[in-house]
């Protein structure tokens, strides 16, 4: 069974390092799209009665290219990488935690089963959801701080630590670092759908194949992420609204629940407002997930080869010691019989 052997080929920390390294590299390559999708998702639709169209910096973005152009004009090219340090730290920690717990939970699941058949789709989604929930509990503070940095204008933007202190000093206190936790826990269905779909597509399109080619891993990662993004976009938009500064029309009053954010968006922008920013969100997801799975496959293979090499070296040393002990025993034999 390809899927099972693939998971068991490395220890949990090996899968965690491979997954987090692949995620950091992939997100670094497409980070400007992360800025753009966040800005598009946090802004409210321009209306004749609302002079301040965008709670972040007064700009209103009409499309992905329009957002890129206006961000570069206002903040320079560095504006496309605002909050990147925190974002990559969050990506690394989230993916390390996710892949670690996903491997542990999936391995425990297989070890507790008598049947060797592949798990069903519902089980795959459940395993991914549990791993995602555990990961979110430890990593959401970094996501909150990063979202604040991404949606703040250049002259108001602060460093990672200072932004975190600003969140703690707000009316929510320390709990503000876990703002949007409920939405994040609901959103664990996104990686669950992503990796559940990835496993299903892999088993269906490449049965019994342990190591995928680069383009195969990229294609499977992109397809699985697209499905997950379309299914969860309204929750993604609501989470961004929870973690960013509130719109001017709320007079600084933050949203309390993602249901409140969604109601506000529907009231002011209609149902389609729940899908704003879906263009760069899907594009980012396609590229990130494609690069992530492509890179993760290569890193996992490197680890497997490295472990195999160390096991071979260890076996050779043990054999050498055994040979030396046998040689000493042969020489000592006649002396012992006297």
Going by C-beta distance under 8 Å and a sequence separation of 6 or more, which residues neighbour residue 331?
none
Read off the pLDDT of residues 249-292 as tens digits, 9 standing for 90 and up: 777 777 877 788 888 888 888 888 888 888 888 888 777 777 77
pLDDT at 203 over 60: yes
Average the pLDDT over 129-156 and give the result. 78
Q: Which stretch of 176-185, 205-214, 258-267, 320-329 has the lowest confidence by average pLDDT?
A: 176-185
Cβ neighbourhood burial of 268 (10 Å; 0-12, 13-18, 19+): middle
pLDDT at 337: 46
Nearest to 271 by CA among 234, 228, 236, 238: 234
User: CB atoms < 10 A from the CB of 276, how many?
Assistant: 22
pLDDT at 5: 42
pLDDT at 267: 86
Going by C-beta distance under 8 Å and a sequence separation of 6 or more, which residues neighbour residue 107?
7, 8, 12
pLDDT band at 325 (very low <50, low <70, confident <90, very high): confident
Q: Is residue 236 within 8 Å of residue 41, measured between CB atoms?
A: yes
Nearest to 34 by CA among 68, 73, 76, 72: 68
Average the pLDDT over 175-201 and give the result. 76
Which residue has 């299914």 as its token pair? 231
pLDDT at 33 over 60: yes
Q: Residues 298, 300, 306, 311: is their CA dihedral positive or negative? A: negative
State pTM to two decimals.
0.56
Which spans in 151-188 are helix H? 160-168, 181-186
Look over the chain and give the mean of its residue pLDDT values, rounded to a whole number: 77
pLDDT band at 334 (very low <50, low <70, confident <90, very high): low
The rounded distance, in Å, linking the Cα atoms of 179 and 244 is: 10
Q: Is residue 68 within 8 Å of residue 31, measured between CB atoms?
A: no
pLDDT at 157 over 70: yes
Nearest to 39 by CA among 8, 3, 66, 10: 66
pLDDT at 3: 40
pLDDT at 162: 82
């Amino acid at each position: 069974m390809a899927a099972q052997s693939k998971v068991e080929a490395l220890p949990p920390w090996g899968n965690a390092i491979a997954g987090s390294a692949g995620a950091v590299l992939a997100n670094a390559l497409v980070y400007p799209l992360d800025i753009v999708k966040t800005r598009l998702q946090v802004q409210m639709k321009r209306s004749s009665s609302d002079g301040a169209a965008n709670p972040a910096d007064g700009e209103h973005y009409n499309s992905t290219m329009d957002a890129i152009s206006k961000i570069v004009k206002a903040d320079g090219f560095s504006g496309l990488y605002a909050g990147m340090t925190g974002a990559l730290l969050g990506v690394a920690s989230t993916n390390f935690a996710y892949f670690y717990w996903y491997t542990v939970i999936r391995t425990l699941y297989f070890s507790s089963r008598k049947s060797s058949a592949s798990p069903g789709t519902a089980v795959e989604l459940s395993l991914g959801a549990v791993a995602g929930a555990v990961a979110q509990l430890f990593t959401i503070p970094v996501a909150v701080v990063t979202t604040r940095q991404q949606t703040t204008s250049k002259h108001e933007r602060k460093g990672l630590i200072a932004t975190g202190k600003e969140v703690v000093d707000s009316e929510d206190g320390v709990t503000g670092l876990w703002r949007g936790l409920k939405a994040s826990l609901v959103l664990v269905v996104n990686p669950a759908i992503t990796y559940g779909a990835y496993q299903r597509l892999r088993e269906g399109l490449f049965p019994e194949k342990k190591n995928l080619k680069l383009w195969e891993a990229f294609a499977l990662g992109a397809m699985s992420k697209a499905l997950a993004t379309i299914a969860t976009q309204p929750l993604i938009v609501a989470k961004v609204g929870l973690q960013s500064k509130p719109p001017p029309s709320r007079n600084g009053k933050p949203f309390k629940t993602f249901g409140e954010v969604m109601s506000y968006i529907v009231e002011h922008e209609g149902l389609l407002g729940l899908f704003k920013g879906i263009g760069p969100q899907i594009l980012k997801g396609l590229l990130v997930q494609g690069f992530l799975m492509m890179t993760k496959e290569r890193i996992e293979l490197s680890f497997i080869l490295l472990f195999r090499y160390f096991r071979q070296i260890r076996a050779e040393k043990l054999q050498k010691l055994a040979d030396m002990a046998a040689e000493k025993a042969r020489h000592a034999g006649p002396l012992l019989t006297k």
